[in-house]
Amino acid sequence: MPTMLEVTDLGHRYAAKDGVYTAIDGLSFTVGSGELVCIVGPSGCGKSTLLRSVSGLLRPTTGQVRLHGNLVSGVPADLAVVFQDYSRSLFPWLSVQRNVEFPLRRALGRAERRERARQALEQVGLTGAAGKYPWQLSGGMQQRVAIARALAYRPALLLMDEPFASVDAQTRFELEDLLLRVRREQDTTVLLVTHDIDESVYLGDRVLVLSKSPARVVADLTVDLPAERDQITTRESERFVAMRAEVARLLHSPPAEVAAPARERAGAVVGE
């Protein structure tokens, strides 16, 4: 599996009232082509900052991001982001349908654009809402529009920041399975931030556990579950239960030494 994304010693400092605030510091990891990597970490540790740096929207203060070996300076082509603040990322003057078509304007003709948007809205269960405006929808529906827009774009690299946070449990399961299906069909590389430990294990090929701010990589766990996942059987399997316990442990009491995290197999205790 060739490396797609290479994050090296990445750090970002925001200007703050009393000088600067270091949000992330010395983050390094790689993501292979077609991999789905989940990122978990304490609230406010810098997960969104990390995604923004990878997307090229934020210029890192230190370190670098490489995509296919090329240094990311602007926003790379073929990338889509589902922002944590999804409702603010929808264009209020465009209907749901037009919001989903928005990124397709440059590449596709009218008919094709329509069809793609229709499909994507159907996938997230919003066929009936195509003609509505974002402000006429509930938070969960808005979040699904943002997801549909990213999927319709069919990016090579998909960055998702807590994309299922506002939907109900049943819809969440469906969207998780949709993501797994879509990325397999389209060979999409996915970097997904979540605060839900179970979700990170269920979805991920790997789980990156971050430390408290400034975020560093505490552990890089490979999820050795079968590629085919199932909401019921996977979640009750022994491996799954062991993995989520491990992620939870790492989150709650991270090992002291995180400067040079080793890449561990699941089940191994990190930091010993």
Partner 1 sequence: MRRAVRGLLGLAGLLALGEVVGRSGLAPEGYLPPTSVVLTRLVELLGDQSFVLDVVATVLAWAIALGIAVAVAVPLGLLLGSVPVLRHGTRAVVEFLRPIPSVALIPLAIVVFGMGPDTKIFLAVYAAVWPILFNTIYAMDEVDPLLVDTARSFGLNRGQVLARVVLPNAAPFVATGIRLSASIALILVVSVELLAGAGAGIGKFILEASSGSGRMDLVFAGTLVAGVLGYLVNAGFEGLQRKLFAWSATTGEVPQ
Ligand X SMILES: Nc1ncnc2c1ncn2[C@@H]1O[C@H](COP(=O)(O)OP(=O)(O)OP(=O)(O)O)[C@@H](O)[C@H]1O
Give the interface with ligand X as residue ranges (CB under 6 A).
14, 16, 21, 23, 41, 43-49, 84, 213
Binding of partner 1 at residue 48 (CB under 8 A)?
A: no
Mapped onto helix, strand or coil, the DSSP state of residue 16 is strand
- What is the C-alpha separation between 244 and 18, in angstroms, rounded? 38
- What is the C-alpha separation between 228 and 220, in angstroms, rounded? 21
The site map against partner 1 for 145-164 (x = CB under 8 A) is --------x-----------
Pick one of Mg ion, ligand X, partner 1, none as the site partner of residue 135 (Cβ within 5 to 8 A by kind).
partner 1
- Using CA atoms of 104, 177, 223, 156 in order, give the dihedral in degrees to the nearest 10: -10
- What is the C-alpha separation between 260 and 149, in angstroms, rounded? 37
Alpha-carbon dihedral sign for residues 80, 82, 83, 87: positive
* 64-103 positions binding partner 1, by CB under 8 A: 75, 77-81, 83, 85, 88-89, 91-93, 102-103
Cβ contacts of residue 42 below 8 Å, gap of 6+? 210, 211, 212, 213, 251
Binding of Mg ion at residue 28 (CB under 5 A)?
A: no
Q: What type of residue is 130? A: A
Q: How far is the CB of 8 from partner 1 (least distance, A)?
A: 22
* 81-120 positions binding Mg ion, by CB under 5 A: 84
Judged by CB under 8 A, the residue of 42, 62, 66, 133 near partner 1 is 133
Binding of partner 1 at residue 135 (CB under 8 A)?
A: yes
Positions that interact with partner 1 (CB under 8 A): 55, 57, 75, 77-81, 83, 85, 88-89, 91-93, 102-103, 105-106, 133, 135, 153
